[in-house]
Amino acid sequence: MRDLCLQSRDNAPEHFAKQLRHHLVLPALVNAHDHLHQNGVPPLPQRAPFRNSYEWAAAFRGHFAHAGVQAALSTPLAVRLWHGGLKNALSGATTVMHHDRAHEMFDAMNFPVRVSQPCTWAHSLHLHYGPDVAASFRDSPATVPWFIHLAEGVDGLAAGELQELRQLGCLSGNTVLVHGVGLNDADVADIVRAGAGVVWCPSSNLSMLGQTIAPHRLRALFAAGCLALGTDSRLTGARDLLAELEVAAAHSDFSPRELLQLVTGHAQRLLRAARCDDYLIVCDRGGDPFGELHELRRAQLRAVVRRGEPFITDPDFADWFAALKISCSAVWLDGHPKLCRTDALSPQGAATWIPEPGLTLQ
């Protein structure tokens, strides 16, 4: 990891290599599950865990009357999607699977993240939202990943969902199951045999259900190379992928190196995402280079780099923006001064600042 070469070094100032002494260059992160447009919606207050996600969804219907929810949902969709992208990019997650409909703005060069495409999806087996489950799977090419929330619960309904999916003929090598808390050992073995994948979202699981996937099942999925990590949205999940890594470390026996694999190589394989010139620069604190990441917060990232260009950096990287003639804005991120490329801070034509907690103009 310490010897990772910068493919885009030619795009940086001449003193860039010298400036990176005593630093680590890590691959940018991949968030294998998010709902980009929901990250600004206030979460549902709850006193006890739910048995499954359908109970949570039923309870949330009453939450729509909350003034904060109404205000968030009245925000233009373009701004809400941009907010979700910005949330991810600030934490070093530059590739994201958006579990909902695709939008033209995802193709904009200044959209904060790469949204994983192509991909196909259904929402879940028993919530009537989005495309029909069997039809969407049938229409998905075998080379394109197909995502569905599955076994998001701790009761009999959740425990039986893999069997339901199998009966529909929707368990195959391009199937990616999100959550999987209700899976048993035999289910995990079936998933591995099918060559399917699972996206683990521990913060969301713990918030909604009070538990997540058992460590020995996570280990079996990881050994098969079919496990990745996702945040879900802030409706139920962690603030960002760095926070999710910390929760994952606390609820598994994965080493720091393995945790990094969940948000890089494993996630790229599940999403069938191409390798890209995105990376992170962090200070070398002298420990295990693989152990640095899940202990960091987003403001501690020295730089997030997309397409070989700085996205957000500490102020001493100002020459890099200048050398590439990229306009940047001075911002505060969680109380730390930063420079962020100006065209990433809001969608073109937006009348309002992206309402990301902890991010303000200096």
Q: Residue range 57-70: average pLDDT? A: 91
- Mean pLDDT, residues 42-65 taken together: 91
pLDDT of 123 higher than 80: yes
pLDDT for residue 272? 95
Give the end-to-end CA distance of the chain in Å, rounded to a whole number.
Answer: 34
Domain 29-276 of CATH type 3.20.20.140: yes
CA dihedral 207→238→180→77, nearest 10 degrees, is: 110
Q: Which residues have CB under 8 Å from 304's CB, separation 6+? A: 28, 89, 90, 92, 94, 280, 310, 311, 312, 313
Cα 76 to the chain's mean position, in Å?
Answer: 22
23 versus 131: which is more confidently predicted? 131
Nearest CA to 290 out of 251, 264, 252 is that of 264
Residues of the chain above pLDDT 90, percent: 80
Whether the pLDDT of residue 190 is over 80: the answer is: yes
- Interval 215-230 mean pLDDT: 98
Q: Give the chain's length.
A: 362
Confidence at residue 284, expressed as pLDDT on a 0 to 100 scale: 81
Q: 0.85 exceeded by the pTM?
A: yes
354: pLDDT confidence band, cut at 50, 70 and 90? confident
What pLDDT, on the 0 to 100 scale, is given for residue 350? 57
Mean pLDDT (the chain) is: 91
Sheet holding 146-150, edge to edge: 120-121, 146-150, 175-179, 197-200, 227-229
Q: Are 247 and 206 in contact (CB under 8 A)?
A: yes
Would you list the DSSP string of 52-117? BHHHHHHHHHGGGGSHHHHHHHHS-HHHHHHHHHHHHHHTTEEEEEE-S---GGGGSTTSSSEEP-
Strands in 93-98's sheet, in edge-to-edge order, are: 29-34, 93-98, 114-115
The pLDDT of residue 265: 95
For the residues of 240-299, what is the DSSP string, one character each? SHHHHHHHHHHTS---HHHHHHHTTHHHHHHHTPPP-S-EEEEE--SS-GGGSGGG--GG
- CB contact at 8 A, 198 and 229: no
How much is the pLDDT for 46? 79
As a whole number, mean pLDDT of residues 337-348 equals: 91
pLDDT tens digits, one per residue of 278-289? 999 998 877 676
At residue 2 the predicted structure's pLDDT band, cuts being 50, 70 and 90, is: very low
- Tens of pLDDT, residue by residue over 152-164, are 999 999 999 999 9
Q: What is the per-residue pLDDT across 305-317, written as a single tens digit (0 to 9) for each?
A: 999 999 999 999 9
Residue type, 15: H
> Regarding predicted confidence, which is higher, 17 or 148?
148
Q: How confident is the model at residue 17 (pLDDT cuts 50, 70, 90)?
A: low
